[in-house]
Every structure is written in structure tokens, then in C-alpha cells.
Structure 1
């Protein structure tokens, strides 16, 4: 069984009486595609974004048994007025729930919330669960604020209490120091570090030990920095016993590596050598299959790189499906 834990949807339309700041979907001449118009953005969306039957056809063609579908990241537009942000989230969540009802054994949905208003976002989690959605997608930063900021702690505590899963998608920060040409590449690495690091170091992960949270694209460069963080924490190389004489920032809590092993990470990192490193450092029980479909083309068949690695059957079963079920609370 293969579960694609990182795939996206777009509603095919928006209410005619929606606020002017809402997106719209325009017909494409001679095609079943639609063009998403959202502020300055123009994005031609394949019909698999919004047509359930097409999604299932694409699943069958790629060898996917189930998808975890979340809103296309540009919909996470936190600069909208909070009331408009809530209205947009509710519309997208309703659409996602309806799409998944078409084939609940093959489509599992994540909603979205207006995190520019943490209280409203926290309150909306109950509605997301009641709609049958498995959890919520959030961006790696909220208008430049790290998700590990204390002002979002109650949101994560409520997600933990309700047992809903959280998926963190890397998104550019308004304070990015990289050129626009890096928005789809290096920004993913930088934002992944900031998001996962802020959760581990800001106290949220410690305060929410049962929170089920996953990071897109293996949280970017996070795993490369963890050995250095572990050295500063415990004064030793290679995760050897703590050396108090060398430790720069000792504390009594879990090590950075132990904290990082509480999270899940999709393994869409484009290279088998990187996946090997992630397995060695974080564990095969932490990785998920992801594709970014249909915003990006899947490997054909799905998880082709993982399949080529001759992983032990236990590791393959974990990464291909069991970890996703654990992250979703369905183990």
C-alpha cells in the first residue's frame, strides 16, 4: 500500500458574493483546466486539482492507494483580513470534505485556518474535525512569525487535544533575503529549518508531546543542522554520550535529535542519497511518501526512488504507508 501524504487540491469555483480579495477560477478555452487568479498570481490548474474522478484516475495510473490532500499553498494567504481569511478557509474546507466524500477510502483531507488570527484558527479546528477532515495544513511562517512563536501555542495544544494532524508546508517569508528565482527551491530548505527548529526550540514540541505534525520536503535543511545542534546541546559528536565540558547550551530536556524524531517528514527530496541520510539520522519510522501532485508531476510510478533503494521490508512498509497512518492517527 502506498499513501501519498503530500498532494494538493483547489476548489473549482468561489461564491459570486465573495469578498473581492477572494481568489477566482477562470475557464481555460478548449480545456478542462481552470486558471487560479489570486491577487497577482495566475496559475493554470489541471482538472485533477478539483475533480474527484480525475484524481482517482491519476492515482491508479501512478500506483497510489490513498492521497492526503491539502489546499494548494497560495490559498494560505495570511495577509487577508481575519474575517475574510476565515470565510475563505471555511469555503475551502467544505470543498475538501465534499471531494473526499467521493472516495473516503482513497482521499483524506486536510483543512486550513486563518492563523493571522490565532484565536479564530484555534476555534475552527473543531469544525474541521466535525467535517471529517483529518487535520490542517499551515504555512511555515505566519506573516514572518515562526510557527513556534508562543502566540500559536494554544492552537497546537488544541490540535493535540482534538487529535487532528498538522501538515507544515514551506512558504516564502515576507522578509526573505533570497531572490524570487529561489522561491521554489532554496526557500523550501530555509523555511523548513525555521519551522521545524522553532517548534523544537521554542517550547511547542515539549508542551505538545502528542502532537502529530509533518513537514513538507523533510523540513528542508533541518536534518543537516541537527548534528550541530546536538553538539551544542551535549558536547559530543555522532550522538555519543553527553560531554558536559564541551556542551555550550546544556539543559535537562530531550536532545535536539530526540525532539526532531517526534516529527514526521515527507521524503520528497529528489535524491536517494538524501533519503538514506534521513533514514540513518531520523529513522525510517519518521518518513512519508510525498509528491506535491498535481502541482508537480509524480515520479512514475509513485515513490520510484524509494522503490529502487532495496529497503528492508519493514522500512518500506513504514515509509510507504504505516507512518502516514500513524501521523493521521489511524494506526
Structure 2
């Protein structure tokens, strides 16, 4: 079995009386795709984004048994007024619930919330859960503020209380330090790293030990920098026992690597050597399969690079599907 834990959707349409700041989806002559218009964005959204039957066909073609669907990240517009952000979130969440209801054994939905208003976002989590969605997707920063900032702690505390999964998708900051052309490449690595690190340095990881949180693209550069944080905490190389008198920033809490091993990470890192490092450093029980489908094409078949690592069958199964259900907090399908 293989669960794609990083796949996206777009609503087919938006209300005719929606605020002007809402996206629009327009038909394309002679095409089953639709054109997403959102501010300056123009994006051809093929039908797999919004059609359950097409998604199932695509799953069969690539060897995927189920998908965890989250909103296409540009919908996470935290620059909208909070009331408009909440309206947009509710429309997207309603569509997501309807799409997943068409094939509940194959499609699992994540909602979205207006995190620009942390109190409203926390309050909306119960409505997300009541719709049958298993968690929420958020961006790696909110108008340039990392998600580990204390203002977002009540949101994460409520997600933990409700047992909802959180998926953090790397998104650019309003004040980028790299050109727009680097958005899909280096920016993803930087933003993922900053988001994951902020959850530790800001105290959220300590305050919410049972939060089930996953980071897109293995949190970018985070797995390569956390060993440095481990050295500063413990004063030793290679995760040897800490020697506090040699450490630069020791405390009595969990180590940086212990915190990092509470998080989940999708495996979309494009190279078997990177995957091997993630398994070795973070553990096979922390990784999920991800693809960014249908915004990006999947490997054919899905998980081909993972399978090339020649892992033990039970280890491979953890990554291809066991971990996804554990992250979502749901029982696996009957017979699995």
C-alpha cells in the first residue's frame, strides 16, 4: 500500500457573490482544465485538482492507494482581511469535504484556517474536524513571522487538543532574500528549515509534545542544520552523550534531535542519498511519501526511489503507509 501524504486540490468554482479578493476559476475552451485567477496568479488547473473520478484514475496509473489532500498553497493568503480569509477557508474546506466524501477510502482531506488571526484559526479547528477533515494545512510563515512565534501557540495547542494533524507547506516570506525565480527551489529549503527550527526555538515543540505536525519537502535544509544545534546543546559530535560543561547552549529539556524526531517529514527530496540520510538521522517512522501532485508529476511508479534503497519490507511499509495513518491519527483500512 502507498499513501501520498502531500497532494493538492483546488475548488472547481467559487461563489458568484464572493468578495473581489477571492480566487476565480474560469473554463478553458476545449479543455477539461480550468484557469485559476488569483491576484496576479494565472494557473492552468487540470481536472485532477477538482474531480474525484480523475484523481482515482491518476492514483491507479501511478500505484497510489490513497491521498492526503491539502489546498493548493497559493490559497493560503494570510494577507487577506481576517473575515475574508475565514470565508475563503470555509469555502475551500466545504469543497474538500465533498471531494473526499466521493471516495473516503481513497481521499483524506486537510482544511485551512485564517492564521493571520490566530484566535479565529484556533476556533475554526472544531468546524474543520466536524466536517470530517483530519487536520489543516498552514504556510511556513504568516506575513513573515515564523509559525513558532508565541502568538500562534494557542492555535497549535487547540490542534493538539482536538487531535488534528498539521501540515506545514513551505511558502515565501513577503520580504524574500532570493529572487522570485528561486521560489520553487531554494526558497522551499529555506522556509521549511526556518519553520521547523522555529517550532523548537520558539517553545511550541516543548509546549505541545503530542502535536502531530508534518513538514513539506522534509523541512528543506532543517535535517542538515539540526545536528549543529545538537552539538551546541550537547557539546559532542555524532549525537554522543551530552557533556553540559562543553556545551554552548545546554538545557535540561529534550535535545534538538529529540524534538526533530517528534515531527513528520514528507520524502519529496528527489535523491536516494538524501532519503537515506533522512532515514538514518530522523528515523523511518518519521517519513511520509509526498509528491505535490497534481502541481508536479509523480514518480512512475510512486515511491520508486524509496524502493530503490533496499530497506527491509517492514521499514518500507512504515514510510509508504503506516506513518501517514499515524500522523493523521486514524486507523488504517480494514485488512491492512
Where on the TM-score scale, by shorter chain, does this alignment land: which range?
over 0.9
Task: State the Cα distance separating 1:202 from its structure 2 match.
Answer: 0.8
Q: Which residue of 2 aligns with 1:260?
A: 260
SS at match of 1:30: coil
Partner of 2:334: none
- Any residues of structure 2 matched to 1:179-190 within 5 Å, and which? 179-190=179-190
The answer for the alignment partner of 1:330 in structure 2 is 330
| TM-score for the superposition, normalised by structure 1 | 0.99
Residue of structure 2 in register with 1:112 after alignment = 112
Secondary structure of the structure 1 residue equivalent to 2:113: coil
Q: Is residue 2:125 matched to residue 1:125?
A: yes
Q: Which residue of 1 aligns with 2:210?
A: 210
State the partner residue of 1:76. Answer: 76
Q: Aligned-pair RMSD on alpha carbons? A: 0.6
Q: How much does 1:28 deviate?
A: 1.0
Alignment match, 2:23: 23
Aligned to 2:307: 307
Matched, 1:319 2:324: no
3-state DSSP class of the match of 1:93?
A: helix
Distance 2:242 2:151 in 1: 33
Q: Render the CA deviation track for 1:235-263: whole Å, top value 9, x for unaligned.
A: 00000011223200010000000000000
Unaligned runs of 5+ in 1: none
- TM score, norm. by length of structure 2: 0.98
Q: Secondary structure at the match of 2:244?
A: coil
Cα distance in 2 for partners of 1:97, 1:239 equals 44
Secondary structure of 2:265's partner? strand
SS in 1 for 2:167: strand
Provide the secondary structure at the position in 2 that maps to 1:111: coil
Corresponding residue pairs, total: 331
Query: Structure 1 segments of 4 or more deviating over 6 A?
Result: none
Post-superposition Cα deviations, 1:76-96, rounded to whole Å, max 9, x if no partner, equal 000001100000000000000
- Distance across 1 between alignment mates of 2:253 and 2:244: 14
Pair 1:242 & 2:242 matched: yes
